[in-house]
């Protein structure tokens, strides 16, 4: 028997609770069984735990879009018992039982080998949020390399700065030598954001209201986890030839923008998806995270919680109350 969060949808409504499960109940469609050591709470996990948005498509469901642990049994040619692995996305925690569980059975094709220099806990301190931040940073780096833009030649904006994607993005960009401007709705977290490497901190209210189609040119690049007017304003204030990596919708899914920054300033908007990203891109992102992440900053970003605590963490992350990353310790 093992512990997991279990989502059911009885006639009385949507429920997510702590449950005792048997290994025989794990999905038959998987070919690798994993002992999960750590999982995390991402924004999407908050949606699944609370039922606020229909991310869970079949019931009963174990939530948790990511995990790290060790293979206990494998019918997949790539994996054997004892291999250290991690997983992000592929519908795990949405359409296939996920990582907020001490055991998981998944498709071997979805697994990534845990980089040797990362512990299971560090991997999940980063989690899907950190991996997505790296996908954003890599898109910007490729763009800057092609455009001949050097680190330190201008400011880079990170929105949703106090959240998981934002916190890791600041640390990564500052580590690469960029001048990072952090946009947050939590001015009380300014010292925390500076400790991650932000050169300055702005109030997110400067970006969240409807703005002009073209604004003063400021950013050589942007990592945006917020969407809506914030993303539109970020595009409108990106410098000629600069780039914006859009990955989130914390403010909204809409994009009330104009084509002006694209056709008059030649800016580029990169869409970042972590869920179905090809395996080579995932491995490159995790490899880069293992090589470049600042361990002390990662520790400062992380708060460890139990599986039982994860129930309360769902509404907290949706309310924008979580600072950095929540890592869930599943070790018995």
- Return d(Cα 230, Cα 209) in angstroms, integer: 7
Query: Smaller CB distance to ligand NDP: residue 247 or 307?
Result: 247
> How far apart, in Å, do the first and last CA atoms of the chain sit?
11
Which residue stretch of 69-77, 236-244, 288-296, 315-323 sits at the interface with ligand NDP (rule: CB under 6 A)?
315-323
Query: Does 273 participate in binding ligand NDP (rule CB under 6 A)?
Result: yes
The residue from 275, 284, 300, 311 that contacts ligand NDP (CB under 6 A) is 275
- Return d(Cα 134, Cα 292) in angstroms, integer: 10
Burial of 316 (0-12, 13-18, 19+ CB in 10 A): middle
Task: In angstroms, give the least distance from the CB of 62 to ligand NDP.
Answer: 19
> Can you name the residues that pair with 298 across neighbouring β-strands?
none
Per 3-state DSSP, the chain is made up of helix, strand and coil in percentages (nearest 5) of: 35, 30, 35
Task: In angstroms, give the least distance from the CB of 313 to ligand NDP.
Answer: 11
Query: Does 233 participate in binding ligand NDP (rule CB under 6 A)?
Result: no
The residue from 128, 138, 268, 297 that contacts ligand NDP (CB under 6 A) is 128
- Return d(Cα 268, Cα 122) in angstroms, integer: 32
Query: Smaller CB distance to ligand NDP: residue 73 or 281?
Result: 281
Query: Does 322 participate in binding ligand NDP (rule CB under 6 A)?
Result: yes
Task: In angstroms, give the least distance from the CB of 126 to ligand NDP.
Answer: 11
Among residues 270, 218, 278, 279, the alpha carbon closest in space to that of 247 is found at 270
For residue 247, give Cα distances in angstroms to 134, 158, 198, 205, 271: 11, 11, 20, 20, 6
- Return d(Cα 302, Cα 315) in angstroms, integer: 18
Query: Smaller CB distance to ligand NDP: residue 121 or 204?
Result: 204
Query: Does 130 participate in binding ligand NDP (rule CB under 6 A)?
Result: no
154-173 footprint of ligand NDP as x/- string (CB under 6 A)? ------xxxxxxx-------
Query: Smaller CB distance to ligand NDP: residue 91 or 185?
Result: 185
> Is 236 within 8 Å of 213 (Cβ atoms)?
yes
DSSP 95: T
Task: In angstroms, give the least distance from the CB of 43 to ligand NDP.
Answer: 4
- Return d(Cα 35, Cα 67) in angstroms, integer: 10
Query: Does 115 participate in binding ligand NDP (rule CB under 6 A)?
Result: no
Query: Smaller CB distance to ligand NDP: residue 36 or 129?
Result: 129
Q: Which two tokens stand for residue 161?
A: 């700065």
Q: Is the bond preceding residue 250 a cis peptide, omega within 30 degrees?
A: no
Query: Smaller CB distance to ligand NDP: residue 111 or 196?
Result: 196
Query: Smaller CB distance to ligand NDP: residue 197 or 248?
Result: 248
Task: In angstroms, give the least distance from the CB of 54 to ligand NDP.
Answer: 14
- Return d(Cα 225, Cα 236) in angstroms, integer: 16
Q: Nearest 5°: CA angle at 125, between 71 and 184?
A: 150
- Return d(Cα 64, Cα 111) in angstroms, integer: 15
Query: Does 42 participate in binding ligand NDP (rule CB under 6 A)?
Result: yes
Query: Smaller CB distance to ligand NDP: residue 19 or 275?
Result: 275
Query: Does 70 participate in binding ligand NDP (rule CB under 6 A)?
Result: no
Which residue stretch of 28-36, 125-133, 142-150, 297-305 sits at the interface with ligand NDP (rule: CB under 6 A)?
125-133
Task: In angstroms, give the least distance from the CB of 74 to ligand NDP.
Answer: 27
Q: Nearest 5°: CA angle at 62, between 56 and 66?
A: 90
Query: Does 146 participate in binding ligand NDP (rule CB under 6 A)?
Result: no
Which parts of this chain interact with ligand NDP (CB under 6 A)? 42-44, 128-129, 132, 160-166, 184-186, 204, 208, 225-226, 230, 247-251, 272-275, 317, 320, 322
């Amino acid at each position: 028997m093992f512990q997991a969060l279990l989502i059911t949808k009885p006639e009385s409504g949507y429920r997510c609770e702590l449950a005792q499960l048997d290994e025989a109940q794990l999905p038959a469609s998987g070919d690798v069984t994993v002992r999960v050591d750590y999982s995390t709470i991402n924004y999407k996990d908050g949606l699944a735990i609370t039922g606020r948005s229909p991310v869970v498509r079949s019931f009963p469901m174990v939530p948790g879009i990511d995990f790290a642990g060790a293979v206990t049994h494998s019918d997949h040619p790539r994996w054997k018992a004892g291999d250290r692995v991690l997983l992000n996305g592929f519908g795990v925690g949405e359409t296939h039982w996920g990582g907020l569980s001490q055991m998981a059975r998944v498709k071997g094709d979805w697994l990534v080998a845990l980089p040797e220099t990362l512990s299971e806990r560090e991997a999940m301190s980063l989690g899907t949020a950190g991996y997505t931040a790296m996908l954003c940073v890599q898109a910007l780096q490729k763009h800057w390399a092609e455009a001949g833009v050097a680190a330190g030649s201008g400011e880079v904006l990170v929105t949703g700065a106090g959240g998981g994607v934002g916190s890791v993005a600041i640390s990564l960009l500052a580590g690469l030598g960029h001048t990072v401007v952090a946009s947050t709705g939590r001015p009380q977290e300014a010292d925390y954001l500076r400790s991650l490497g932000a050169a300055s901190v702005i109030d997110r209210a400067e970006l969240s209201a409807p703005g002009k189609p073209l604004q003063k040119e400021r950013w050589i690049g942007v990592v945006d986890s917020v969407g809506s007017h914030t993303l539109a304003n970020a595009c409108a204030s990106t410098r000629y030839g600069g780039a914006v990596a859009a990955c989130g919708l914390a403010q909204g899914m809409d994009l009330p923008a104009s084509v002006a920054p694209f056709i008059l300033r030649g800016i580029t908007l990169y869409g970042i998806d972590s869920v179905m990203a090809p395996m080579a891109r995932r491995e490159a992102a995790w490899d880069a995270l293992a090589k470049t992440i600042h361990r002390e900053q990662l520790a400062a970003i992380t708060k460890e919680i139990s599986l039982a605590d994860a129930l309360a963490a769902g509404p907290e992350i949706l309310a924008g109350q979580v600072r950095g990353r929540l890592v869930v310790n599943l070790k018995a």
